[in-house]
Structure 1
Amino acid sequence: MKKIFLTLLTLVSLSHAENIYATFNVAAQKSANLAFTASGIVQKVHVDIGSVVKENQILASLDNADIKAMLQKTKIVLKFASRELERQKKIKNLIDASKYDKVLSNYENAKASVAYQQALYEKTILKAPFEGIIYDKEIEIGDAVSGMMLKTVFKIQSLHARKLILEFDQKYHHIVKVGQTFEYKVDGDDKTYTGVISKVYPYANFDNRKIKAEVKAKDFTVGLFGDGYILVDGK
């Protein structure tokens, strides 16, 4: 009798080991808080909440007429410095080395000035870091922004790509692995979905003694939650 009881207990333990319960929240695969790193007055705002944007698409820009003029000026200086360098290269062996070095130095300085002004100019233009959707906006034409006090003006998240942030009991830390199947339901949806664990966090939360893992998903609304089971032997 004792032997039968132990056998049943072993089977129950194996059954539980194959189905590890986990809860989850839906998060965007990519998300970012965007801010200007330059100071100035907002001149143009090209998008709004709900706008779908491409990578490197311009979202907003500051009044940059002065920086643009300075950039153009440095480009002109570089243009003539480049011409002079090409002329001196042709007679390099016939002129004093110090004179040639001075011409070369003028060219390199002009090139550096263009790069510097170009960098300043680009800081006045805010672009999307990846394809996604704008889900928050805190900027209007005429607003003043400061590069010294960064303020989030847009929030962007990936358009379709999502990740489920799972939480499961820490006692399974040695069992749950990348590649295992996760069967789950989203709250309010009767359909059963399946995914694959793509990441297991290498630590347990001190407060609730839970370990996190991630499963890639698509098109769920960010912020939803649900639960399911990790199939340890069902890769």
Structure 2
Amino acid sequence: MPVKNLSILGSIFSVFILVSCHSKKDVKPKKDAPVIVDVLIAKSQSVDNTIEANGTIIANNSVQLHPEVVGRLVYLNIPEGKAVKKGTVLARLNDADLQAQLAKSKVQLDLYQKTEERLKQLLDVNGVNQADYDAALNNVNGTKADIQYTQALIDKTIIKAPFDGVIGLRQVSIGAYVSPSDVIASMQQTNGIRIDFTLPEQYSDVIKIGGKVNLEVDAANEAKRTATIIAMEPQINQDSRNMTVRAIVQDGKGNIGSFVKVLVDVGANKKAILVPTNSIIPDDKNNQVIVVKNDKANFVNVQIGIRQANNVEIVKGINEGDTVVVTGVLFAKPKAALKVRKAKTLEQFASEQ
């Protein structure tokens, strides 16, 4: 190839290298694409000031029947699932030795009483000294005490119904050797059922003894009952910061241990800012929401209040007019760029769930 052509090719190659190097120097890295989110414009609206709490049905009285002493079951009357009256004998343990001891003590008492009566007559005419009479009287009183003690031991071998109620399932069989750690059966008093439920400590001033709450025992037909508050646990749970409340339903029935929804009216309707529950970001110490400012994600600590089925009240942290992220929450990062796709209302967001 002629030298002239080689020179031309060399010049072209040098220019290509210079242009390439210059182009690589001017290329800037691409920025991360903004997260696409839907938002809600915060505004105050009327809120029904009724809160929901989870409750449990408990028996008015409930007990597990245990024997007080060790022995063999010789009688068992456990009508499973049926009502029994207070004082009904449900079980007996073998007490033959105690009955024999009781019979012996009664024979001794009879003898001691006759001796004491004779000595009393002699004492009245100074026919016997006071010490002999006192010894005879001591035998009478000591034997009476022995009889009472033996009778108390016999009573412990008898298991009676402590109240009117329904017997549960039998846990032992006749002839079994039982001890105080063994359960004979359980017993529940089902009339006048009670409801235990918990509320946040902020409502401690609202709950009053004698106050009324509504209950939804059967979620299928949404039947509501009324219960009366009878007691409150004076100590707030330090882990959950909840208080335990007990209410009674005089004319109600239900399965002991069942779940019940408790509706508590904590005051008149009020104005409040609501956001969807899904927009709340729980943290170890705080709850947060994402507010859009200058097209960027700002994580804001908030204080929540009343919880509804799909929404939650924001007591502190955001104001009317703030733009709150309701979708795409999991993908947003602090100060990251956001692109608002659509502004929704609470009703629109709930209908899409």
TM-score by length of 1: 0.85
Q: 1:105-184 residue pairs with structure 2 within 5 A? A: 105-147=138-180, 150-184=181-215
2:262 alignment partner in structure 1? 228
Change (3 A) 1:158 1:33: same
Offset at 1:28? 0.3
Using the aligned pairs only, state the percent identity.
28
Counterpart contact for 1:187–1:224, Cα < 8 Å: no
SS of residue matched to 2:208: coil
| Structure 1 position 197 matched with structure 2 position 229 | yes
1:214 alignment partner in structure 2? 246
How many equivalent pairs are there?
220
AA of the residue aligned to 1:172: Y
Q: Higher helix share goes to which structure?
A: 1
Partner Cα distance (1:86, 1:182) in 2 = 69
Offset at 1:202? 0.7
Offset at 1:140? 0.4
Offset at 1:63? 1.8
Offset at 1:102? 0.3
Counterpart contact for 1:187–1:225, Cα < 8 Å: no
AA of the residue aligned to 2:198: E
AA of the residue aligned to 2:158: I
Higher gyration radius (CA): 2
Offset at 1:51? 2.8
For the aligned residue pairs, the C-alpha RMSD in angstroms reads 2.2
| Structure 1 position 97 matched with structure 2 position 108 | no
- 1:164-186, Cα deviation, whole Å (9 max, x unpaired): 01211111122211111111211
Partner Cα distance (1:233, 1:89) in 2 = 79
1:3 alignment partner in structure 2? none
Offset at 1:118? 0.5
Change (3 A) 1:121 1:168: same
Offset at 1:233? 6.7
| Structure 1 position 82 matched with structure 2 position 90 | no
Q: Which has the higher contact order (CA 8 A, sep 6+)?
A: 1
AA of the residue aligned to 2:263: Y
Q: Which runs of 5+ in 2 are unaligned?
A: 1-43, 269-353
Higher deviation after alignment, 93-102 or 27-36? 93-102
Counterpart contact for 2:232–2:244, Cα < 8 Å: yes
Offset at 1:121? 0.9
Partner Cα distance (2:78, 2:119) in 1 = 50
Counterpart contact for 2:197–2:262, Cα < 8 Å: no
Partner Cα distance (1:21, 1:200) in 2 = 17
2:297 alignment partner in structure 1? none
Counterpart contact for 1:181–1:232, Cα < 8 Å: no
TM-score by length of 2: 0.58
Partner Cα distance (1:86, 1:196) in 2 = 63
Partner Cα distance (1:106, 1:233) in 2 = 73
AA of the residue aligned to 2:203: Y
- 1:94-121, Cα deviation, whole Å (9 max, x unpaired): 2311111101110111001101110111
SS of residue matched to 1:137: coil
Partner Cα distance (2:107, 2:190) in 1 = 42
Q: Which runs of 5+ in 1 are unaligned?
A: 1-7
AA of the residue aligned to 2:161: A
